[in-house]
Amino acid sequence: MPDADQRTASLPRSQRRNEFTTFFVLAFGIWPIVAVGVVGAYGFLVWMFQIIFGPPGPPAH
């Protein structure tokens, strides 16, 4: 089985460029947006939970 360097060297230049472009779009475009969306959704979920059930802590006397 050829190692990764041999496989990468054997790819045509246009295919390598397409793979790099796809990697950069995913790494610096789509995944940061997904991460911000997940954190925002979690924050919204916690906020709604606290609106319905009250803030965390001991019960008020």
Q: Mind listing the pLDDT tens digit of every residue in the chain (61 residues)? A: 556 666 666 778 899 999 999 999 999 999 999 999 999 999 999 999 999 998 888 877 7
- The DSSP call for residue 28 is I
Give the per-residue pLDDT at 56: 86
Tokens of 31: 């995944």
Q: Taking Cα atoms as reference points, which of 9, 30, 33 lies closest to residue 21?
A: 30
Tokens of 30: 């789509």
